[in-house]
Structure 1
Amino acid sequence: MSTELTPPQPDTGAATQKDSRRALISSFLGSTVEYYDFLLYGAAAGLVFPALFFPKSMDASLGATLSFVILLAGYLARPVGGILFGHFGDRVGRKNMLVITLVMMGAVSVCIGLMPTYETIGVAAPIILVGLRIIQGLAVGGEWAGATLMAAEHVGHRRRGIAASIAVTGGPTGSVLATLILALFAGLPDEQFLSWGWRIPFLLSAALVVVGLYLRYSVTESPDFAAARTADDVHTGVPILRVIRQYPLSSLYGMLAVAGPLFMQALLAVWVVPYVAAGGAVARQDALYMLTFSSVLHIFAIPFFAWLSDRYGRRPVMLTGAAVAVVLVFPMFALFNSNNPWLIALGFIVGNPIIQASMYGPIGAFLAEKFATRDRYTGVSLTFQLGSVLGAGTAPLMANWLFELDNKSSTTYIACYFIALTLVSALAVYLSKETLRRHAQVASPVTATPVSVTAD
């Protein structure tokens, strides 16, 4: 279908270099703090929560499954948060929404760090945990798109891919912090770690939030949004309705495109760590350090693939990444099953900075360039967060189920499922139009002489 968008506008560098640099730093560090909070739960879900927030008489496998169900609750809340914060982000601005999401995330992490366990308050413990996880999900639902757009919209069109990726790297950076700090305390004796050691990483979130808030208050509003507001092209209508009516295929393709890489991200962070630790070849703490090291490489790999997409296009890079993922997923699992610590560490490196990053690096610009300015926050939030439910949210549960289905004898079913999901993501990318050469047309819908642009 077609939608009325503006003709290409010159890249005038509306934001100063200082504003752009500040926006990039703010988006990166703010996203890092938020994902530290969100991913810390994922890291703890397989290691700590089954023993603390469910009856001790419960089967360990069932306890882990219920922890992953609560993990999924946070992912289910993310599209709702995306619609909510996207609505106000498209009507009143990006900056204020990002401040609110940051405060919400920090408050929830501190509450989790102070929570009484099942032994103290019984069934109320998992119920409260579900509520806190849903609030986390709402906040992250508005965070990813907002941070990505603040970075992308502060730079010229030619650098949009790598600028958006700076905010995207907040995810692996937050993962590094979460797993590294949790790993430090995981080295304590089990009794100390389960009684108080696991709580410290959650409580440390308060200090990170203070730093993030200072940076977010200092950044200027997005130049693209400011231009649309000046032309009176915001404050009207309901963005989610416009997204549904004008961008149905763009939204569908965007959602499916992110599902494959997000499945791999969550699988490594939540399911693989306790899996390799249970095998006996590596200790719990060592497995977390391996994940941390691969995430450090991930921080540099994501901008690299985004830079490639600025040169060669979003689709070619992402399709090549999907092909790499299909080829390498069985070797990756072979490394995890090798019972050799060095090979297991190599497995994390194959999974994060190679398989996941090659598909994921260009994703910020790929999604942002599908929507006009007045609908972009909502459109990007909705597509990414629905994809996160399909990919990351279901990853631990699906992996657990497939592993049980294979009588806990191999990871073949998990690898096959990932290949199928990756092929779906690749098809969605293939059916999408390349946005690198036409994204100037989609940058702002304010114009005296609109032109018709065919949506995906």
Structure 2
Amino acid sequence: MSATPELKRVVLGALVGTALEWYDFFIYGTAAALVFNQLFFTQADPAAGTIAAFATFGVGFVVRPFGGVLFGHLGDKIGRRSTLIITTVIMGVSTGLIGLLPTYPSIGVAAPVLLTLLRVCQGLGAGAEFGGAATLLAEHAPPGRRGYYASYAQTGVQIGLVLGTSAFLLVQLMPEEDFRSWGWRLPFLVSFALIGVALYVRLRVAESPVFREMERSREIVKLPIKDAIVRHPRNFLIGVGAHICDTAVVYTLSTFSVAYAIAELGLSNRTALLGVIFFGLTVIVLQPVYGHLSDRVGRRPLNLFSVVFVAVFVYPYFLMVGTGVPVVVWLAMMIMGAFGFAPQVAVQPVFYAELFGARVRYTGFAASRELGAALAGFSPLIGAALAARLGGAPWLVAAFLVATALISFGAFWASRETKDLDIGVVDPVRRPLVEE
């Protein structure tokens, strides 16, 4: 079945919107690994400054569940499209303002305080972004192709990762003094311009037909978060656990691994950042492949395979990175991306959309997923602290990733296959799920 013009606009809107919003979210992590420890926490020693910078990175995850509940509520009350337009503005403005912040030497302790406040704003916007984009895609997609089309929401996230990392790779070509004084600001300031691009694309997207039908039949509920938890308690808990492993993996690779490769292995910033770019490009290529496969074999098998691979490969991953050989480091990141990360995140948009009934889908999706993100979002901070206990060695970090894989394995094992579920059903709890 070929995509209709309307569906193509929805795919483009999700792809561009998530790419630009997650560009905003990811560049903070890269900056935390490279410069924030020196610019905003200069009273601390280098290791403590890195931990402090990663702590502010983690703050964004703490507030993401609140963003999921707040904007998820709006998404289930006023519509998916309208809510996504609001989150686009919040993310773009807060990210751009980071590029204008004075540093610690200029205004003292106010600098990290303001940085943290803007990170909070980023977290609120990010908490609703992915859930809204994925819900809109899943509700527009035709039956039997939902996994494929919904996977483009996650493709946008990985494009954001590649764009953000590439932006810092480019500005690091500047003389070191210029990069430290003002060059690092450029990737953040670009966000002001990207707001216009994202809004232009999203304003051309039609509202979800499922939401329009709910409005027509007056199926909209007063308090979606209450209904999501009360009517879907099992699936809400599954949603929390399902997002822990992939969150830990991507932020360990894109932030902790960068800091580890530079500080402990003596690799250049360029080498470390290229590894993240290769990781992201690998995942981008495989997203539609795994999304299509999930429409054939189901969501559950791919999810289970992915977390098992993480648990098995994480120690070989750090052995390969520990060689300090650039090609081997890049290969390790690409392998983890191809088999430990890509299957989970390709299936994730449709997996979460199918966990909840239509009238609480946005809230249930965003709130449960972002609560899982909050639990795992401090992975770079935890990784830095664990590595410090072993004098920089990453083996406790590997054990931590295995633990996150086991948690998500339990969530996926408890889940039921939903690829044949009617996504327009208001409350699927009242209907049996299709078992494979």
Bin the TM-score by the shorter chain: over 0.9
Match of 1:8 in 2: none
**1:451 to 1:83, Cα distance in 2 relative to 1, 3 A:** closer
Deviation at 1:340, TM superposition (A): 1.0
Deviations 1:80-111 (A, max 9, x none): 00000010100110111111111111111111
Give the match for residue 342 of structure 2. 357
Structure 2-normalised TM-score?
Answer: 0.96
Residue 169 of structure 1: how far off its partner (Å): 1.2
Q: Partners in 1 of 2:222 and 2:78 — Cα distance?
A: 12
- Residue equivalent to 1:110: 96
Structure 1 residue 164 and structure 2 residue 164: aligned?
Answer: no
Per-residue CA distance 1:266-319 (angstroms, 9 max, x = gap): 101111012112244531122112211221111122222222111101111111
Select the residue among 12, 16, 19 that pairs with 1:32.
19
Q: Residue 59 of structure 2 aligns to which amino acid in structure 1?
A: A
> What is the CA deviation profile of residues 161-198 of structure 1, one whole-angstrom value per residue up to 9, with x for unaligned ones?
11111011111100110000111111223211110110
Q: Which residue of 2 aligns with 1:151?
A: 137
| Residue 402 of structure 1 pairs with residue 383 of structure 2 | no
Opposite residue 400 of structure 2, the aligned amino acid is Y
SS of the residue corresponding to residue 144 of structure 2 reads helix
How many aligned residue pairs are there? 435
Query: Is the CA contact 1:231–1:446 (under 8 Å) kept in the aligned structure 2?
Result: no
Q: Does structure 1 retain, via aligned residues, the 8 Å contact 2:417–2:433?
A: no
Alignment of 1:221-260 (within 5 A): 221-234=207-220, 236-260=221-245
CA distance in 1, matches of 2:88, 2:335: 32
Answer yes or no: is 1:69 the counterpart of 2:59: no
Change (3 A) 1:351 1:451: closer
For the aligned residues, what is the CA RMSD?
1.9
> Per-residue displacement from partner, 1:237-263 (whole Å, max 9, x unpaired)?
200000111111101111101110110
Matched-pair contact (CA < 8 Å) for 1:369–1:443: no
1:291-370 equivalent positions in 2, closer than 5 A: 291-370=276-355
Distance, in Å, in 2 between the alignment partners of 1:451 and 1:288 is 48
Structure 1 position 22 matched with structure 2 position 9: yes
CA contact (8 A) 1:148 1:364 kept: yes
Farther off after superposition, 268-277 or 298-307? 298-307
Do 2:161 and 2:280's aligned partners in 1 also have CA atoms closer than 8 Å?
yes
User: In structure 2, the residue corresponding to 1:430 is in which secondary structure?
Assistant: helix
Amino acid at match of 1:425: S
Structure 1 residue 205 corresponds to structure 2 residue 187 = no
Show the counterpart of 2:258: 273
* CA 398–115 in structure 1, closer or farther in 2 if over 3 Å, else same: same
In the alignment, residue 176 of structure 2 is paired with which amino acid?
A: D
Does 2:83 match 1:97?
yes
The match for 1:429 is 412
Question: Deviation at 1:348?
Answer: 1.4
Q: How far is 1:454 from its partner?
A: 7.1
User: What TM-score, normalized by structure 1, do the two folds share?
Assistant: 0.92
**Cα deviation, residue 407, structure 1:** 2.9
Matching residue's letter, 2:34: L
The residue that corresponds to 1:373 in the other structure is: 358
Contact 1:80 1:141 in 2 (8 A): yes
Are the counterparts in 2 of residues 294 and 349 from structure 1 also a CA contact under 8 Å? yes
2:239 partner letter: G
What is aligned with 2:268? 283
Partner of 2:71: 85
Give 3-state SS (helix, strand or coil) of 1:171's partner.
helix
8 Å contact kept, 1:279–1:339: no
* Matched-pair identity in %: 36
CA distance in 1, matches of 2:153, 2:405: 23
Compared CA separation, residues 230 and 281, structure 1 to 2 (3 A) = same
1:233/1:446 contact within 8 Å kept: no
Q: Is the 8 A contact 2:100 2:185 kept in 1?
A: yes
CA distance in 1, matches of 2:274, 2:225: 41
Query: In the alignment, which residue of structure 1 is the partner of 2:397?
Result: 414
Helix, strand or coil: the match of 2:356?
coil
The aligned residue for residue 46 of structure 1 is 33
The gaps in structure 2 that reach 5 residues or longer are none
Determine the C-alpha separation between the residues in 1 that align with 2:32 and 2:21: 17
Kept in 2: contact 1:168–1:364 (CA 8 A): yes
CA distance in 1, matches of 2:187, 2:62: 24
The answer to whether residue 178 in structure 2 is matched with residue 192 in structure 1 is yes
Letter in 2 for 1:427: G
CA distance in structure 2 between the aligned counterparts of 1:455 and 1:58, rounded to whole angstroms: 55
Write the distance in 2 (CA, Å) between the matches of 1:455 and 1:346: 39
CA-to-aligned-CA distance 1:386-418 (integer Å, 9 cap, x gap): 111122x1211111121122232x222111221
